[in-house]
Amino acid sequence: MTEQLRLMAVHAHPDDESSKGAATMAKYVSEGVDVLVATCTGGERGSILNPKLQGDPYIEENIHEVRRKEMDEAREILGVKQEWLGFVDSGLPEGDPLPALPEGCFALQPVETAAEPLVRLIRAFKPQVITTYDENGGYPHPDHIMTHKITMVAFEAAGDPEKYPDAGEPWQPQKLYYNQGFNKPRTIALHEALLERGMESPYGEWLERWKQFERRERTLTTYIPCDDFFEIRDKALIAHATQIDPDGGWFRVPMDLQREVWPTEEYELAKSLVDTSLPEDDLFAGIRNN
């Protein structure tokens, strides 16, 4: 295939692109693939998770602007393009019973309406491959679940001239994947490798929580070798300074151990309009040679 390869990653908030599939994107950028991140919301209702920045009045009062600047830095580190879809963060409801979602937020938009700007972006960028979240959102944040919903609608509608006729010339993506980087086999492998080396593991609580919730195991179809880009992934994530503690659990697994034990990022092939053989080691399998 001589046509430019293009990958679109659809994410809910600024920082999601750096914690889910970032090394994959950096790898493809290095190979000359055109990569675009579509960010659904501005992260306006996100908490300040870095304890070093909590209580900073400027950040608290200007969180939207701060997170946009963080996204700018992460985008440059990864070498990707990025567009905002313009929706307002829904926040993560907490409590029992859960409070109502705030009026006007992303998760309360009609799905068919909210899919329109993504359809428009797909038709303009013309990706052959799209990545997003599964029906559970990866975890049940309302914005992640809504991101899944609009991506499914947009994938089908973008190539249909009768759908969203004012959103540009139709373009049909060929493959759709769900990010599955936080999968159980990877978590267990890293956890056991750390304990075998006499090191503390940050994954013990994760595995305990897994036992408490009935979750079907996802089907991992696609393993992207991208360990050469793990440092870039981590640097992009640290750029989202309000959202990540550089001394926290994300970074407690030594890089050499990560490369040795689990040098890939994983995906679940959800839709494919081309023939491919599973398992894959390339999101463009079935596309490159057609």
Q: Tell me the one-letter amino acid at 204.
A: G
| Strand-pair category, 34-41 with 6-11 | parallel
Tens of pLDDT, residues 32-76: 999 999 999 999 998 898 999 999 999 999 999 999 999 999 999
Domains, the chain, ordered by start: 6-182+219-272 (3.40.50.10320), 184-217 (no CATH)
Q: What are phi and psi of 130, to 5 degrees?
A: -125, 140
What whole-number percentage of the chain has pLDDT above 70? Answer: 97
> Which residues touch 104 (CB under 8 Å, ≥6 apart)?
88
Quick one: average pLDDT of 72-97?
94
Annotated binding site: 13, 16, 144
> What confidence category does residue 3 fall into, taking pLDDT thresholds of 50, 70 and 90?
confident
Annotated binding site for Zn(2+): 13, 16, 144
Q: Please give the pLDDT value at position 186.
A: 95
> Which residues touch 192 (CB under 8 Å, ≥6 apart)?
none
Q: What share of the chain is helix, strand, coil (3-state, %, to 5)?
A: 40, 15, 45
> What confidence category does residue 1 fall into, taking pLDDT thresholds of 50, 70 and 90?
very low
Question: Of the ranges 54-58, 147-151, 183-187, 210-214, which is most confident?
Answer: 147-151
Closest C-alpha among 83, 101, 6 to residue 40: 83
> Which residues touch 245 (CB under 8 Å, ≥6 apart)?
49, 50, 51, 52
> What confidence category does residue 217 fall into, taking pLDDT thresholds of 50, 70 and 90?
confident
